[in-house]
Amino acid sequence: WIGMASSVMYYWIVVTIFLSCSSDCVSSEIELGSRLLASKDQVWVSDNGTFAIGFTPSDTDNRFFTFGIWFASLPGDRTFVWSPNRNSPTSREAILELDTTGNLVLIDKKVTIWASNTSNVNVESATMSESGNFILHNTNNHPIWQSFSQPSNTLLPNQPLTVSSELTSSKSSSHGGYYALKMLQQPTSLSLALTYNLPESYQTFDENESYANYSYWQGPEISNVTGEVIAVLDQAGSFGIVYGNSSDGAVYVYKNDNDDAGLASAIHQSTPLTVLRRLTLEENGNLRLYRWEDVNGSKQWVSQWAAVSNPCDIGGICGNGVCKLDKTKTNASCTCLPGTSKVGRDGQCYENSSLVGKCTNRKNENNTSNFRISTVQQTNYYFSESSIIANYSESDVSSVSKCGDACLSDCDCVASVYGLNEERPFCWVLRSLSFGGFEDTSSTLFVKVRANSSWTPEGQGRSNNSSSDGMGSAKEKAVIIPIVLGMIVLIILLSMLLYYSVHRKRTLKREMESSLVLSGAPVNFTYRALQIRTSNFSQLLGTGGFGSVYKGSLGDGTLVAVKKLDKILPHGEKEFITEVNTIGSMHHMNLVRLCGFCSEGPQRCVLFYLQFHCENSNFIALTGLSNVCFADF
């Protein structure tokens, strides 16, 4: 039942592809004069619907299209396995045409972007095969041109990679460099190698020298080889080199434990694929083998093998910056050197005018006083043999600083590296840093920069997380300035609110006091004024249940009795003043008249006019505020 269900699902996918394509899909033989339009999402599909060739909108901008081959049997996934215009997307006006001369041409706005160059060589038709190979046939059905012979960044099962061909990654958006998988030939041996390649526009310092690529990974070597040599991925998922006149020799780069047929069985086969696999050279320089699998109910590409486990082992992954691993040893970040800055979305580092690059004939240009050495600790660099100016041994370099001096005195030197090899010191003087650096606790890098340059190594006083120093500073300002301004505005508003509240309270109090004075009510005294009028409450007249009474005088000499209330009344200040006002307006022959009060903080005092017959402590408290005085008879 499981096998039947799988078969039903497979044929349902194939039927879905053909129904969705409608008249825009063509399978089997493709005749001369046929064309595909990017604007109509037209494709040519293999007989069983496994592969399709056509246009796909860009992932980042649907105004642009890429032409190529992908697995049509994987709904929602258009990962390219071959494309001739990965680095130059087309517009919606693009057309792919197998013209009447037999030439397969990609045209965008009447400009030829790519062509198979097969005009007038008897091409009769084309086929999108079930193996993923797009083939141009002659009248005898013999292949004249095929996509398998011009790979881009992916090998499919049974697709040969010859000595004359190579896989190439997409070019870097910031500098144009790229990675390649190819056969690296030595005088007596051969091996597969991954290389980092500088762009064609890269200028070497000597026209007779070439150091535009660096090999950072090599597979097993084979020696004294005769006959054809082919790298191949077989259907069981093993990858390696097949060689010999009868292809009977094989060296595995990666072997699947379930591979019983061997690599040689993959040569010149084009059988349908039962398991979908691809070997892809990624833009980050790693070579990975993928298999389409079910992961927790979700179909996706799963990595089965990678050529490089440490990303910092890949040359140029940070441009000419330094690669640093995180604590997990799986993820890398880039740190730029003095005289360089980060460029592009990939955050790689490249030269600016501060980094010294070559000797010149300008006057005083090569004077050592115009330059200085910036030291970067625990750092080493990748370099090719042709980028070495000199290699000083122990006898030539007695100290670390002399390695820096060796670079400073050589006008061609960009940097020098000091380190230890089996406890013996060495000093490499280099004319290029283009292949990138890595952390190395036993090495020190000396970078030559112009004397007036203010550059210092990232991570030594400056952050290395921003895309560039200028951009990082701008981003920080864009965040900090609004926050600071907002805080200033908030402080001003709170200050205004506090001032208004205090001012309002004081105004109300003054208004209340003024209203009392105008109405003949008792006057409000400050506690400090009462201290002065009573000589700091020094003349005690008497005490009562609510407090003590002290003798004092007003400014005009009028004698008063000041009563300090010890028991604070439970009502508030407003009620206290209102009660004082009420009592002050009362007149009785036996009631001493109230002339003032004090309500300041916790202090509560009342003032009475002192009569001659009340000076001998004859105050009798009837209430907390009023007092009666009996004359002495």
Q: Are 559 and 552 in contact (CB under 8 A)?
A: yes
Residues 149, 155, 156, 160: is their CA dihedral positive or negative? positive
- The pLDDT value recorded for residue 168 is 94
What span, in angstroms and rounded, lies between the C-alpha atoms of 608 and 553?
A: 10
Rg (CA), the chain: 46
Terminal CA-to-CA distance of the chain, rounded, Å? 130
* pTM reported for the whole predicted model: 0.65
CA-to-CA distance for 164 and 160, rounded, in angstroms?
11
Predicted local confidence at residue 468, as pLDDT: 34
Q: Are 576 and 564 in contact (CB under 8 A)?
A: no
How confident is the model at residue 27, as a pLDDT? 54
- Taking residue 314's Cβ as centre, other Cβ atoms within 10 Å add up to 25
The DSSP bridge pattern shows strands 287-295 and 277-281 to be antiparallel
**577, 604, 575, 592: which is closest to 522 by C-alpha?**
577
Residue 282 and residue 168: Cα distance in Å, rounded? 9
Amino acid code (one letter) for 317: I
Residues 6 or more apart from 516 whose CB is under 8 A from it? 522, 523, 524, 577, 581
Between the alpha carbon of residue 292 and those of residues 237, 255, 256, 274, 358, the distances in Å are 12, 18, 15, 11, 50
Give the per-residue pLDDT at 184: 86
Say which residues have a Cβ less than 8 Å from residue 94's Cβ, sequence separation at least 6: 37, 38, 55, 65, 67, 106, 107, 108, 113
Q: Which residues contact 633 (CB under 8 A, 6 or more apart)?
A: none
Q: Which of 120, 126, 121, 71 is nearest to 97 (CA)?
A: 126
Per-residue pLDDT, 618? 46
What is the residue whose two structure tokens read 């081959």? 69
Kindly report the CA angle at 289 between 288 and 295, in degrees rounded to 5? 110
CATH class of residue range 151-308:
mainly beta
Buried b (16+ CB within 10 A) or exposed e, 357-392: beeeeeeeebeeeebbbbbbeebbbbbbeebebbeb
pLDDT given at position 560: 87
Q: What is the mean pLDDT of each run of 10 residues along the chain (633 residues)?
A: 41 40 57 94 92 90 92 90 92 95 95 94 94 93 94 94 92 76 86 86 50 83 83 90 74 83 64 85 94 89 94 87 84 79 64 52 58 88 80 70 87 87 83 86 88 56 35 57 88 91 73 52 83 88 80 84 74 68 66 80 83 50 42 27
Instruction: Say yes or no: do domains 1-149 and 523-629 share a fold.
Output: no
Dist. CA 117–CA 114, nearest whole Å:
9
Those residues with Cβ within 8 angstroms of residue 235's Cβ, 6 or more apart along the chain or in another chain: 157, 158, 261, 266, 269, 271, 273, 274, 275, 277
Residue 218's closest CA among 182, 197, 193? 193
- Residue 474 CA to residue 348 CA, distance in Å, equals 19
List beta partners, residue 56. Answer: 66
Contact 204, 210 (CB under 8 A): yes
In angstroms, rounded to a whole number, what is the distance separating the alpha carbons of residues 474 and 466? 10
Read off φ and ψ for residue 247, nearest 5 degrees: 55, 40
In angstroms, the CA 586 to CA 584 distance is: 5
Q: For the residues of 248-295, what is the DSSP string, one character each? A: -EEEEEE--TT--S-GGGGTT--PPPSS-EEEEE-TTS-EEEEEEEEE
Note the CATH number of domain 1-149: 2.90.10.10
Name, in order, each residue with C-beta under 8 angstroms of 464's C-beta and a sequence gap of 6 or more.
333, 334, 335, 336, 458
Question: Quick one: DSSP state of residue 588?
Answer: B
**Contacts for 32 with CB less than 8 Å, ≥ 6 apart:** 98, 99, 100, 102, 123, 124, 125
What local confidence, expressed as pLDDT, does residue 218 receive? Answer: 92
Q: Strand, helix or coil at 186?
A: coil
Beta strands, E only, 27-160: 29-31, 35-37, 43-45, 51-57, 65-71, 80-82, 95-98, 104-108, 111-115, 123-128, 134-138, 143-146, 154-155
The CATH code that applies to domain 523-629 is 3.30.200.20
CA of residue 568 relative to chain centroid, distance:
67
What are the backbone dihedrals phi and psi of residue 568, each rounded to the nearest 5 degrees, phi first? Answer: -70, 130
Query: Quick one: pLDDT at residue 465?
Result: 34
- Distance, CA of 95 to CA of 65 (rounded, Å): 11
CA dihedral 306, 309, 311, 314 (to 10 degrees): -70
What length is written for the chain? 633
- Give the right CATH number for 338-459 from 3.50.4.10, 3.40.50.300, 3.40.50.10490, 3.40.50.620: 3.50.4.10
CA distance 71 to 143: 22
324 annotated as a binding-site residue: no
What are the residue boundaries of the structural domains of the chain, listed by start? Answer: 1-149, 151-308, 338-459, 468-518, 523-629
